[in-house]
């Protein structure tokens, strides 16, 4: 990691680029707006983290995680710097990575006090474990041994998570829709899921996370095209589903007792229609920043969701800091930087 980079940011240019999805609103309106519902409401900073794109360009800002020191790691598929490292005020403190052209999924795991990153690369068809400074520790390659694939191009991993015992789960969200379960050594233990419409199958298994909110950990897996969040045990057995009609959800992120999901499209899946979904401990939608208020009918089913105000184009991930502020990264959003939402 080179922490001696100079931050070459043009204030006026940064604001202009960040306001791309607010073409009908002026900057003052954006600064004064409050979005969200109930106890989870937020003010908006569209200019957070904006940099000079001549020096720190991004294509898609796919995902973001925070380490124990409070640094935020942004993953982008621009190979000039695949990782941009910020502090919570939006100042760049480091950058690295030129070898991840399909950088898509980013997770962080603490192993006996040392944190590691896991990068799911669409183009390389691999999951790569690195140190926080970018040194490669381990590669989980194309899983030919699974006998589910005939060539690497059929395997397009989108996300990963790590269990308390070190086992690694990889979601093949853009490929054949399997979940691959490895031990810490990289030995394949199990494969489950696959493309289909049964409860234990997926229509775009885009994201996965470990849910430790109860005594028995489980897996939460987002079925983006199916508008559902599915729960499996650690052995790959289907447990339950939570329907989120009209919400095309990316990976689940757990913070305290809530689940946060960037919702890349809404309604019938139109472009530029995203918002953020926030679920309570019972996986009920309680707030939708950028979306219409969530309403549950007399049958206890959620009414179809859609975007309410175009704060976002295509949210792809959300990171939550200890003060409950949100950092939203976006796919296909005019090469703009993350948006910060301040909890109010």
The DSSP annotation for 315-339 comes to EEEEEE-TT--EEEEESSSSSPPPE
- Determine the pLDDT at residue 107: 98
Residue 304, domain member (yes or no): yes
For residue 6, tell me if it sits in a domain: no
**What CATH number corresponds to the domain at position 296?**
2.120.10.30
Q: Does residue 4 lie in a domain region?
A: no
Rounded to two decimals, the pTM is 0.92
Residue 102 inside a domain? The answer is yes
Supply the Cα-derived Rg of the chain in whole angstroms: 19
Q: Is residue 5 included in any domain, yes or no?
A: no
pLDDT at 226: 97
| Cross-strand bridge partners of residue 332 | none
- Give the separation between CA 265 and CA 56, rounded to whole angstroms: 27
Residues with Cβ within 8 Å of 4's Cβ and at least 6 positions away in sequence, in order, are: none
Q: Into how many domains does the chain fold?
A: 1
Rounded (to 5) percent helix, strand, coil in the chain: 5, 45, 50
Structural domain of residue 173, as residue ranges? 11-343
Domain membership of residue 213 (yes or no) is yes
| Cα–Cα distance measured from residue 325 to residue 216, given in angstroms and rounded to the nearest whole number | 28
Question: Tell me, what's the pLDDT at 11?
Answer: 30
Is 2 within a domain? no
User: 126 Cβ partners below 8 Å, 6+ apart?
Assistant: 120, 139, 140, 141, 142, 157
* pLDDT averaged per 10 residues, the chain (length 344): 33 34 56 93 96 97 98 98 98 98 98 98 98 98 97 98 97 98 98 98 98 96 98 98 98 98 98 98 97 97 97 98 98 98 98
pLDDT at residue 19 in the model = 38
User: How many angstroms separate the CA atoms of 314 and 312, rounded?
Assistant: 6
Residue 1 lies in a domain: no
């Amino acid at each position: 990691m080179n922490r001696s980079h100079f931050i070459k940011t043009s204030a006026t240019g940064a604001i202009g680029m960040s306001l791309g999805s607010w073409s009908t609103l002026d900057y003052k309106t954006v600064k004064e707006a409050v979005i969200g519902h109930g106890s989870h409401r937020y003010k908006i900073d569209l200019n957070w983290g904006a940099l000079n794109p001549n020096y720190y360009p991004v294509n898609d800002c796919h995902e973001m995680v925070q380490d124990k020191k409070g640094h935020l790691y942004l993953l982008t598929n621009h190979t000039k710097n695949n990782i941009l490292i910020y502090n919570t005020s939006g100042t760049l403190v480091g950058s690295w990575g030129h070898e991840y052209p399909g950088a898509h999924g980013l997770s962080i795991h603490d192993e006996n006090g040392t944190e590691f990153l896991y990068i799911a690369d669409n183009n390389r068809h691999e999951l790569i474990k690195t140190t926080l400074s970018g040194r490669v520790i381990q590669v989980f390659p194309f899983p030919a041994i699974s006998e589910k694939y005939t060539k690497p191009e059929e395997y397009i991993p989108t996300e990963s998570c790590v269990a308390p015992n070190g086992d690694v789960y990889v979601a093949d969200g853009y490929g054949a829709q399997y979940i691959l379960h490895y031990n810490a050594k990289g030995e394949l233990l199990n494969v489950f899921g696959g493309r289909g419409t049964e409860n234990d199958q997926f229509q775009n298994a885009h994201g996965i996370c470990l849910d430790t909110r109860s005594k028995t950990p489980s897996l939460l897996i987002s079925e983006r095209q199916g508008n559902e969040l599915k729960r499996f045990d650690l052995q790959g057995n289907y447990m339950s589903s939570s329907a989120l009609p009209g919400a095309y959800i990316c990976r689940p992120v757990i913070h305290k007792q809530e689940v946060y999901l960037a919702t890349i499209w809404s309604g019938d899946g139109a472009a530029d229609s995203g918002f953020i979904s926030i679920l309570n401990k019972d996986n009920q939608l309680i707030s939708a920043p950028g979306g219409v208020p969530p309403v549950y009918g007399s049958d206890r089913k959620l009414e179809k969701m859609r975007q309410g105000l175009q704060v976002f184009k295509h949210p792809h991930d959300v990171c939550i800091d200890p003060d409950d502020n949100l950092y939203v990264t976006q796919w296909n959003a005019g090469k703009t930087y993350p948006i910060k939402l301040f909890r109010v």
